[in-house]
Amino acid sequence: MKRHLLTIVVLFMMIPVGLRAQLDPVSLALRAYQNKDLPKARELIEIATGDDNYNNQAKTWYFRGYIYKDIYSANKQTKDGRESRQQAIESFFKAVEYDTKEEFKADCYKALNFLAATLYNEAARALDSANFDVAVDYFEQHKEIQCIVTPGIDWTERTIDFKLYMASKYSHLFDNPRPGDDPDELGQGIIRIYNEVLDLDSDNVQANYNLAIHYYNQGVSIIENMDYELDFEELFAIQATVMELFGSALPNMLKAYKLNPYRKETLVGLSGIYFGLNDIESSEHYQEELKKLEEKEQN
Amino acid sequence: MNKLNTRAKMKSMYISNFAKYTEWPAEYKQGEFVVGVVNDDALATMMETMAKTKTINGQKMVIKRFSSPSEITKCHLIYVAGKASGEVQPYVSKVSKFSCLIVTEGAGLIDNLSAINFLTIAGPLKFEMNKKTFNNQELIVSTLLENLATKVIK
């Protein structure tokens, strides 16, 4: 952009002042932009994009992209700022569409790359503040742009990283719910996200381990919070639920073990799950493996 | 990962229910309800937590930890850890003079040592029962408890 913009500005400055007043709205918008009068630049570029003489020119959309990009940069955290970013993205794509000579394409892609990065950062921020739907929306927008601008990126890996981070945030909320949070909804969310990761990569150790731990901890938490006054009938019902949870944990923990038999956390996990299932022999087997591993590490 | 000893917690819940469905002679129905735990710290800790709030048949629960037969005193119920009958026998001998509900966990222990024995098989916690031992200790077991047992020796 900067190179093209400079050329255009230089040419613009060479035009006599009197003549400039009669210039087209694109040039006037550019002048306002150069004067850092972004509201005026926006007003003028909108006139240009509404005019059939200018709205099919790559240059018009290219300038519009930069005007809105700067409006976004000046108001990042406002609704207008975010809408301006969206306008900028659409404008750069339109500029590329009309740019048959590929004069602006490289600049447009560079700007789109920047804007895509801001979307990714916002997705991460949204995750940190547990706005999960917003985060997914930003991530998908980021991905959509990057797929065009930077083809060849391995999206499986990036999507997995994003989902694992999101699942960790869900887990944190599940353990420390805010007023109004629905634990069941959060729990289901954790299971859904880890399963989405496993759909992308069934050999993902972290997703297998974390999903198993989630099921296991749910079972343990139920036992931990049992009322001491429970009668046999209620005890049996709870025990059936807990056994089901431990049973759900087992295949994922065994998979995590298969993928990495030397991970201590997995051995602890397997021992705990089998213990919960009252399979003491298997529990002791993994306890023994852990002991051997730790001894090996010490020697 | 939550490190709770799930089996100990579950066993503590079962044990309090065993007591609930057992009747002791009249002289045992007043004062504290004493539960002895032999060589199982995890279970003793769970029982101690339970005893802070729970009563058994209206009697305040007290947990006593024992690690040798010589320490044994009068108990309403005793849980003896140990898989071999040789380990369990000395404790059983010591409590046999009391009306004490003897609970164990080990294959074959139900035959002539305990009244209730936890089974060490995978799956939901199960128990077996020896009605003769109940009778010998002058304890009356409810039909409900009998019906829940996997095996009852009569």
Q: Which of B2, B122, B144 lies closest to A277 in CB terms?
A: B122
Judged by CB atoms within 8 Å, which residues 221-240 of A form the interface with B?
221, 223-224, 226, 228-232, 235-236, 239-240
Phi, psi of A225 (to 5 degrees): -95, 15
CA angle A37, A43, A44 (to 5 degrees): 90
Q: Which of B3, B6, B48, B148 to mutate to test the interface with A (most CBs of A within 10 A)?
A: B6
ipTM: 0.91
Tell me the pLDDT of chain A (299 aa) as tens digits.
455 555 555 545 555 544 444 578 999 999 999 999 999 999 999 999 999 999 999 999 999 999 999 999 999 989 999 999 999 999 999 999 999 999 999 999 999 999 999 999 999 999 999 999 999 999 999 999 999 999 888 899 999 999 999 999 999 999 999 899 998 999 999 999 999 999 999 999 999 999 999 999 999 999 999 999 999 999 999 999 999 999 999 999 999 999 999 999 999 999 999 999 999 999 999 999 999 999 998 88
* Lookup: tokens for A273: 């799950």
SS3 content of chain B, % helix, strand, coil (to 5): 35, 25, 40
Q: Which of A221, A232, A243 sits opposite B123 (nearest CB)?
A: A243
**Measured between beta carbons, which residues in chain A are less than 8 angstroms from residue B4?**
220, 223-224
Residue-wise pLDDT for A45-92, tens only, equals 999 999 999 999 999 999 999 999 999 999 998 999 999 999 999 999
Using a CB-CB cut-off of 8 Å, the residues of chain B touching A232 are 17, 144, 148
Q: Tell me how far CA of residue A201 lies from CA of A128, B32, B67, in angstroms.
A: 24, 59, 52
Alpha-carbon distance A96 to A149, whole Å? Answer: 11
What's the confidence (pLDDT) of residue B2? 80
Query: How many Å apart are CA A113 and CA B89, to the nearest integer?
Result: 77
For residue B132, give the 3-state DSSP assignment: helix
- Residue for token digits 């409006």? A71
Select the residue of B2, B13, B148 nearest A217 (Cβ to Cβ): B2
SS (H, E, C) chain A: CHHHHHHHHHHHHCCCHHHHCCCCHHHHHHHHHHCCCHHHHHHHHHHHHCCCCCCCCHHHHHHHHHHHHHHHHHCCCCHHHHHHHHHHHHHHHHHHHHCCCCCCHHHHHHHHHHHHHHHHHHHHHHHHCCCHHHHHHHHHHHHHHHHHHCCCCCHHHHHHHHHHHHHHHHHHHHHCCCCCCCHHHHHHHHHHHHHHHHHHCCCCHHHHHHHHHHHHHHHHHHHHCCCCCCCHHHHHHHHHHHHHHHHHHHHHHHHHHHHCCCCHHHHHHHHHHHHHCCCHHHHHHHHHHHHHHHHHHHC
Number of other residues whose CB lies within 10 A of the CB of residue A47: 15
Taking the CA of residue A30 as centre, how many other CA atoms within 13 Å lie in the half-sphere pointing to its CB?
24
**DSSP-derived pairing of the beta strands B116-118 and B101-105:** parallel
CB B110 within 8 Å of CB B127: no
Pairwise CA distance, residues A82 & A99, whole Å: 26
Shortest CB distance from A280 goes to which of B4, B17, B120? B120
Nearest CA in chain B to A219: B6
Side-chain half-sphere of A230: how many Cα atoms within 13 Å?
23
Mean pLDDT computed over every residue of chain B = 94
Reduced to 3 states (helix: H, G, I; strand: E, B; else coil), residue B102 is strand
Of A229, A239, A272, the CB nearest to B124: A239
**Domains defined along chain B, listed by start:** 3-153 (3.40.50.2300)
Report how far residue B33's alpha carbon sits from residue A81's, in angstroms, rounded to the nearest whole number: 71
Looking at beta carbons, which pairs linking A255-262 to residues 24 or more positions away fall under 8 Å? Answer: A255/A202, A255/A203, A255/A208, A256/A205, A256/A208, A256/A209, A256/A212, A259/A203, A259/A205, A259/A208, A260/A205, A261/A289, A262/A293
Minimum Cα–Cα distance from A218: chain B residue: B2
Stated pTM of the model = 0.84
CB contact under 8 A, B9 and A265: no
CB contact under 8 A, B121 and A278: yes
The ranges of chain B with pLDDT < 70 are none
Chain CA centroid to CA A106, Å: 26
β-sheet with B59-66: strand ranges across = B55-56, B59-66, B33-38, B77-80, B101-105, B116-118, B127-130, B151-153
Which pLDDT value is given to residue A299? 82
To the nearest 10°, report the CA torsion of A283, A289, A295, A296.
-160
**The predicted structure's pLDDT at residue B3:** 80
* CA distances from residue A55 to A7, A48, A51, A86, A94 in whole angstroms, order as listed: 21, 6, 6, 18, 10
Nearest to B38 by CA among B16, B71, B60: B71
B8-41 pLDDT per residue, tens: 999 999 999 999 999 999 999 999 999 999 999 9
Helix axes A264-276, B6-20, angle to 10 degrees: 20
* CB contact at 8 A, A236 and A213: no
Rounded CA separation A174/A105 (Å): 46
Name the residue of chain A whose CA is nearest to B14's CA: A232
Q: Which residues, listed in sequence order, are joined to residue B129 by a DSSP beta bridge? A: B116, B152
